[in-house]
Amino acid sequence: MATINENYSKLAAGYLFPEIGRRVSAFTQENPDANVIRLGIGDVTEPLPAACVAAMHKAVDDMSVRDSFRGYGPEQGYEFLRTAIVEHAFKPRGVEIAADEVFISDGSKCDTGNILDIFGADNTVAVMDPVYPVYVDTNVMAGRTGAAGKDGRYEGLVYVPVTAENDFVPSLPDEPVDLIYLCYPNNPTGTVASRETLKQWVDYARAHDAIIFFDAAYEAYITDPEIPHSIYEIEGARDVAIEFRSFSKNAGFTGTRCAYTVIPKELTGKTSTGEDQPIHPLWNRRHCTKFNGVSYPIQRAAEAVFTPEGQQQINELIQFYLTNAGLIREGLESAGITVYGGVNAPYVWLKTPGGAGSWDFFDQLLSKGHLVGTPGSGFGAAGEGYFRLSAFNSRENIEQAVERFQRVVG
């Protein structure tokens, strides 16, 4: 009798974004002429950088000729890309990472989920609230939680509230935790962590033999020179942190698929008898056994991100989306809305007007403004009464969206 993994039945609801998709699709079926503007899912809209396009064409040509054809590549990624990453993404910020500490993958969502494979079932997990739902759901699926309560919070997870009340600075947990998810610049709030905040968490992890999962998917959007881009800018972080990075949001690779995860060789976990075990060989083993490397043309496209042309082109993309974020911020503020984020991140996080519930406000914006955002409560109980707007769209749509928003709340 083949039994299923019953932890899946604990999952409280559909994954957030499919639920948004369902509501939007129901609306557009009833209103086929409505020109809906989507600032919900954080998906880029502008074409790939020209340097990436050229590199991919060249790599496709490599695949068409026997002498330059590539079969199975190294599961961990090609040396050319791992080296380009350490040289260009870390070294200029004074962070020393070895190329073989970088594991190329097809996405940070995949990596933040799959990383759990190499950790014990008994770890206590801390997440911020609100939080990117994948961190929570993958722990539920892996059996590290009990059932969900009425507020959607799972028994056994430690939720750290991050709201206007604490100025979006998470407090260290009162109870001991083992695995800690930090995402900065933050999805969904668009806020950043100062060097001091990150240092507190690194010190906590060092003191408690905890491990930090640091999701830096949005680091390219940091405009404030005082804000760290990498957790490894904090002293001692190599002993306690794994960092996840992606080409999705800086180079527009959401449909192209390439990301990477850094596992420093110093990083250790514990056996049940309390011995230190290095994490790097565990992840290497998982990667080699359950993954087969990223497509060669895609790795060449990612490599091109680090050429001078590529860097200039992605900077233009990032500036474009940040200008969008600024327009949203200003437009909402001028309508009397309290907004956060949108300065060092492509997301604007706002308080719903009149204290409306997040999903109520979602339905209101959709039906009256034909505008799609993401309900804050979809990211966790502490997100209730908040709402996220993404800056990923054309300038025209952003300007339209701001006008519509103002009209709906006006």
Tracing tokens 């006008």 back to the chain, one arrives at 403
3 binds its own copies (CB under 8 A): yes
Site for its own copies in 190-209 (CB under 8 A): 208-209
Spatial contact of 358 and 375, defined as CB atoms under 8 Å apart = yes
Alpha-carbon torsion, ordered 165, 228, 123, 136, to 10 deg: 60
Among 24, 37, 48, 328, binds its own copies (CB under 8 A): 48
| Closest to 259 measured CA to CA, from 146, 114, 142, 152 | 114
Scanning 25-33, 113-121, 226-234, 402-410 for contacts with its own copies by CB under 8 A, the matching segment is: 113-121
Closest distance to its own copies from the beta carbon of 317 (Å): 12
Task: Tokens for 240, please give them.
Answer: 């306690």
358 binds its own copies (CB under 8 A): no
> Distance (Å, rounded) from C-alpha 304 to C-alpha 306?
5
Among 20, 24, 37, 56, binds its own copies (CB under 8 A): 56
66 binds its own copies (CB under 8 A): yes
Size of the site for its own copies (CB under 8 A): 84
- DSSP label at 13? S
Spatial contact of 179 and 123, defined as CB atoms under 8 Å apart = yes
Spatial contact of 375 and 133, defined as CB atoms under 8 Å apart = no
Our CB check for its own copies shows the closer of 123 and 197 to be: 123
316 binds its own copies (CB under 8 A): no
Cβ atoms within 10 Å, residue 24: 18
Among 34, 53, 148, 381, binds its own copies (CB under 8 A): 53
Site for its own copies in 126-165 (CB under 8 A): 134, 137-138, 141
> Distance (Å, rounded) from C-alpha 100 to C-alpha 388?
37
267 SS3 class: coil
88 binds its own copies (CB under 8 A): no
Our CB check for its own copies shows the closer of 33 and 65 to be: 65
Site string for its own copies, 224-263 (x = CB under 8 A): ----------------------------x-xxxx------
Among 85, 89, 102, 119, binds its own copies (CB under 8 A): 119
Site for its own copies in 268-287 (CB under 8 A): 269-272, 274, 277, 279, 282, 285-286
